[in-house]
Amino acid sequence: MLEVEHLSVSYGVARALDDVSLSAEEGSITAVLGANGAGKTTLLRAITGLVGAKSGSVRLKGKELLGLRTEEIVRLGVAHVPEGRGVITELTVDENLKLGALWRRREPAYRHGIERAYELFPALESRRRRPAATLSGGERQMLAIGRALAASPRLLLLDEPSLGLAPLVTRELLRVVRGLAHSDGLTLLLVEQNASSALSIADTAIVLNLGQVVVNEDAAALSSDEKLRHSYLGF
């Protein structure tokens, strides 16, 4: 589904990503781990075109994404919940969700996508007409993910969903997300600093350090390899 090959991204003279390659199969969950500043967020931003790449290639089911505008990449079936969630607080919950699915408005599945989000996250249903500013952290995360799912994407990029959330909430969120991967064939790229929870649902794990891929392993294998875990993930 997703092929990233030799991707390099620079901010001025600083190399944020250096020759990064990975591939994700349809319906798989890939955890992208590493310390702060390792380049995890940059990787996601490069895939959705928010940041330009110096070299390399990113292909979604064979289609090259590099060089396309963000909104066009999204319209190819990619959804990206950015760091900080990106909930638009001036809009209501319903408006946020609608916005997520708007580009599919002409399709019959449009309304279905929005209702689906409410099914997945019932807590949002009761707050439909409230401004998103009134939501708690966990609810905003649900909204952000629900919004991303409203367009029934094929590839979902999640940037640090657990940030600021209680562990229980995080676990529930990830459980829902994993369910989607299995039921809908949704391919997931999950960036996390909280490595253990990410590893618990992931199929593959990638560890970035200073912009380079240092580990690319089966998630279960990485979990059980204590040495590797210690040196790169700190636990």
- Alpha-carbon gap, residue 146 to 124, rounded angstroms: 9
Nearer to other proteins, 140 or 229 (CB): 140
- Alpha-carbon gap, residue 175 to 172, rounded angstroms: 5
Min CB(74)–other proteins separation in Å: 4
Nearer to other proteins, 77 or 211 (CB): 77
Min CB(53)–other proteins separation in Å: 17
Min CB(117)–other proteins separation in Å: 13
With tokens 């990064």, the residue in question is 20
Residues lying near other proteins in the complex (CB under 8 A) are found at: 48, 50, 69-71, 74-75, 79-80, 82-91, 95, 98-100, 102-103, 105, 140, 147, 151, 163-164
Nearer to other proteins, 102 or 221 (CB): 102
In this structure, what token pair is assigned to residue 118? 């409410």
- Alpha-carbon gap, residue 113 to 147, rounded angstroms: 9
Nearer to other proteins, 83 or 225 (CB): 83
Min CB(113)–other proteins separation in Å: 12
Instruction: Tell me the sheet residues that pair with 60.
Output: 2, 63
- For 188, the enclosing helix (H) or strand (E) is strand 187-191
In this structure, what token pair is assigned to residue 123? 């807590």
